[in-house]
Structure 1
Amino acid sequence: MKLLSYTRNGKPSWGALEGNDRIVDLGHVAPTLRDALGQGGLGAIRESLAAADRGAALRLADVRLLPVIPNPEKIVCIGLNYEAHRLEAKRAETKFPTLFPRWPTSQTAHGAAIPLPTESEQLDFEGEIALVIGKGGRRIAKEDAWSHIAGYAPYNDASIRDWQYHTTQWGAGKNFDGTGAFGPWMVTRDEIKDGQRLELVTRLNGEEVQRGNTDQLIFSIPVLINYISTVMTLRPGDVIVTGTPSGVGVKREPQLFMKAGDRIEVEVSGLGRLENTVAHERTP
C-alpha cells in the first residue's frame, strides 16, 4: 500500500493511493494516519481499504498533500550515518549513532515550496530515507526491529547551515519552519523486503548531487531502532530519518546552497520521488 495525508477543500484527511492518481479516502477510519497506525495498525487499514467505496475515490490532482505523518510525536534524525559523508564532514568515527530531533512544524509536503529564510542564504539539501514506526515499544531487540516498521518514504532534511553551526548542537539549523520535506507517500513494509537495498538519489535542478544506498549505512535500521528505543519509547507514527549520503552543498568546493527558484528532488527506489521548489520565505 501507499498511504498519504492531504487536505481537500481545507479539510485534512488521509488515504491510500491506488494506481497513479486515485486516492481512496480513509478518514472515516481514524482522524489521521498516525491515529490509524496506533488504533489497529496496517492490518486494520488493509481491511478498511478492502471495504472502501471505490466510486468515491479522489483524484490526486484535486488534493494538497501534507507530510506523510503531519503530526508525529517524535521525529528522530540520524547524523553522519554514511561513511563517505562522515569523511567529507571530517568527523571522527563513533561507536553510537548521532541523534537529533526535528519538530513537526519543521516539516513540509511533496510539492510545497521549501522556504529560504530571510536570516540565511545557506539552505542545504540532505536526501534521506525515513521510516515510520507502526508498532511501538521500548528496548526493541534488533532481531525484532523490522516488525515495528509501518513503512518508508523519501525525506529531505534541508538544513540552514550557518544556524546549524551556531553551537555544537544542530537543532537550530534543522528546525526552521517548513524545511523538512516528507513524502509524497509512505510505502508499507509488505512491499519492501526486510533489509532490501534502497537506492537514494538527490537532484538539484535536474543534476545529480547525491547518491547512496542503505547497504552503506554505518548504523543499520535495526541498530537504529534498538538504540533509539533504548532511550525513549517509540510509538506508532514516530518517524526516524536515517541519514544522508555524501555530496551535501556545505562540504563542496565551491559550496552549493539552494536558492529561490531551485527545484530539489529526492528519489528512492521502490518508494517514489519527493519534489519541492525553493522560495523566499514570506514574512509578516
Structure 2
Amino acid sequence: MRLVTFDDGKGARLGALTASGIRDLGPRTMMDAIADTSGLLAACEKASVVTEAKLLAPLPRTPKNIFCVGKNYHEHAKEFAGSGFDGGAKDVVPPFPVVFSKPHTSVIAHGEPILSALDPTGGLDYEGELAVVIGVGGRGIRKADALSHVFGYTIVNDVTARHLQKRHSQWILGKGLDSFCPMGPAILTADAVPDPAELTLTTWVNGQRRQHAPVRDLIFDIPTLIEAISAGITLEPGDVIATGTPAGVGIGFDPPVFLQPGDVVRIEVPGIGVLENPVA
C-alpha cells in the first residue's frame, strides 16, 4: 500500500494513494498505522475517494530528528571528495557509515517550496534519497533482522546549503534549515518491497535528469545502516533514515550548479511515486 497523510479541510488524516485517488482511512494518523497495520487493506477497499485534498508530508513531525547518511554511493563519495566541500576528509569512501541528522522542522510536503532565502551564501543543492521508515523499534538490531523492523519506504530530498555545510564542519546547520527536508509523497509499505535493493532513484532539475542509480549501489546497505544506528541509539516507530544520495548533485559540476529561485526538483522512486518541490 501507498499510505499518505492528507488534509481535506478537516485536519490531517490517513489515506491510501490508489489509481482512483486518495482513499480516506479515517481520523487516524500515520503513527497510528505504524503502530497497528491490521485492517488497513480492508479499510482501503471500503473507503471513499477524496475529491479535493492537499498532500502533507507522510510524517509531518517525526518522533525525533531524521537520521541521514552521507557519502553512501561510491560515485557520489568520489564527486564530493573532489568538490572542495568535504572539509578535508581523508577517506574518499568512508570505512563506516557517516550519520548526521535533520530536525523535524525541516520537513515539508510534496509541492511545498524550498526556501532558498534561508541560505544567504547562495550554495543551495539537492540530494534525492530513498528513506526508510521504522515500524518496530529496538536497540542492538542485527543486520539479519533489520528489514523486519521496517514499516516502509519514502523519498527525501536532503537539501543542503553547501557553503554552510563546509563552514561549520558539522553538517546540521547546512542541512537542517526549515524546508530543507521535502518528504513524500507516500510511504510504500514494506510488504510491497521484497528487496529494497531493487528500487531505483532518479532526480531531475527543471526537467534535466541529474541523478539515476539503483539502491543496490549503496556502500552501506539498509540492514547495515539499521544495525549501525541502533547499536547504541534506540530506534523508535516512525523514525526515518535517509540512506544517502547518488552522484549528480550540483557540486559535482565544474563549476558547481546551485539551485536558484524558480527551479523545480523532481525525485522519483517507482512504486513510491514522485516528490516534486519548487525553489522559492
Q: What letter corresponds to residue 77 of structure 2 in structure 1?
A: R
RMSD, aligned α-carbons: 1.6
Aligned to 1:210: 211
Distance 2:175 2:42 in 1: 39
Alignment of 1:56 with 2:48, yes or no, is: yes
How far does the alpha carbon of each residue in 1:36-62 deviate from its partner, in whole angstroms, 9 at most, with x for none? 313x2x3x2xx1441468463313xx2
Per-residue deviation at 1:120?
3.2
Aligned to 1:115: 115
1:33-48 equivalences in 2 (<5 Å): 33-38=30-35, 40=36, 42=37, 44=38, 47-48=39-40
Q: What letter corresponds to residue 106 of structure 2 in structure 1?
A: S
Q: 1:73 aligns with which of 63, 67, 73?
A: 63
Per-residue deviation at 1:252?
1.2
Q: 1:220 to 1:11 in 2, by over 3 A?
A: same
Q: 1:52 to 1:87 in 2, by over 3 A?
A: closer
How far does the alpha carbon of each residue in 1:256-283 deviate from its partner, in whole angstroms, 9 at most, with x for none? 111111111011122211111111xxxx
1:195-274 equivalences in 2 (<5 Å): 195-274=196-275
Distance 2:102 2:264 in 1: 23
How far does the alpha carbon of each residue in 1:73-97 deviate from its partner, in whole angstroms, 9 at most, with x for none? 1310000000111111115132210
Higher alpha-carbon deviation: 205-214 or 114-123: 114-123
Counterpart of 2:168 in 1: which secondary structure? coil
Q: 1:197 to 1:171 in 2, by over 3 A?
A: same
Distance 1:36 1:55 in 2: 15
Q: What letter corresponds to residue 68 of structure 2 in structure 1?
A: C
Identity within the alignment, %: 40
How far does the alpha carbon of each residue in 1:79-137 deviate from its partner, in whole angstroms, 9 at most, with x for none? 00001111111151322100001111101111111111252321101010011011111
Counterpart of 2:209 in 1: which secondary structure? strand
Per-residue deviation at 1:23?
2.1
* Contact in 1 for aligned 2:25/2:47 (Cα 8 Å): no
Counterpart of 1:117 in 2: which secondary structure? helix
1:154-233 equivalences in 2 (<5 Å): 154-233=155-234
Distance 1:164 1:233 in 2: 27
Counterpart of 1:181 in 2: which secondary structure? strand
